[in-house]
Chain A
């Protein structure tokens, strides 16, 4: 115990922190780099809606039976309102990029943004 006194941080602490930050950075680049193409609204593990975000011209709202309202905008989707207690889903904010998702856990409802078609390649080179 004694060697811990009087010293707030050790080199190994900083290395551990740096490793996790590196991981976070890599994950960030991996998941938040591409503009989303498709949005899915999933309720109880069932995909209720699939929306092509690029084809959305006017903002509109989708009212779900469980008291949740999902807002759809050109290129973005988000929880507009929910009757749940914690409002975390609403606070997650707008989803625009591939891999982003938000959920209302009390209602088991999830919205997520994915790429074009999962089977189609992003690009082809000759």
Chain B
């Protein structure tokens, strides 16, 4: 596979991943709409797509998927939610990238996803604090860390399960 072909494949796959992320977000929102989830607590299943992009395609593609997710939030939930989504997403992707890059070989996708899930919530909280000009929700952070880690672990376990199968595809080699 030459370089151009590789780039084209990455572009196409990241577009598919972005679409999958949006569809998952939407599905998740419908699924959790009736549940009395505490503020900020979300499964974040679309991070399966983001983590996949980060692991297989690289940081720029993962950032692009995150930006598209935030754009979708802007359209469906307004600027406040979009900014939170973007800040959380960026911090989460960068964490993910670093953890995948240092390749300690110790953390599996479950660990990477759990840590970046927690960072996602920290990023959102930082953005919220900046918006109201006060270190708010610090008391709420434990709850968010708990949910970030828990759901991150869940999406990571999904990745652990599907990655071996996906890596067999000719595309990614």
Q: Which residues of A contact B (CB under 8 A)?
A: 1-14, 16-17, 20-21, 23-25, 27-28, 31-32, 42, 45, 85-86, 88-89, 91-92, 97, 99-103, 105-106, 108-110, 112
Contacts and interface: CB of A to CB of B under 8 A. Distances in A.
A107 B27 CA distance: 28
Given A99-B138, A101-B139, 5 more contacts: A5-B163, A9-B157, A20-B148, A27-B142, A42-B133
A101 B137 contact: yes
Contact of A105 (B104, B105, B114, B132): B132
Contact of A4 (B84, B109, B139): B109
Nearest to A12: B106
Given A25-B142, A28-B142, A10 B132 contact: no
Main secondary structure of the interface of B (DSSP, over half): helix
Nearest to B165: A5
B23 interface: no
A27 B136 contact: no
A17 B106 CA distance: 13
Interface residues of B, number: 45
Contacts of A25: 142
A85 B110 CA distance: 34
B138 A27 contact: yes
B132 A92 contact: no
B108 A112 contact: no
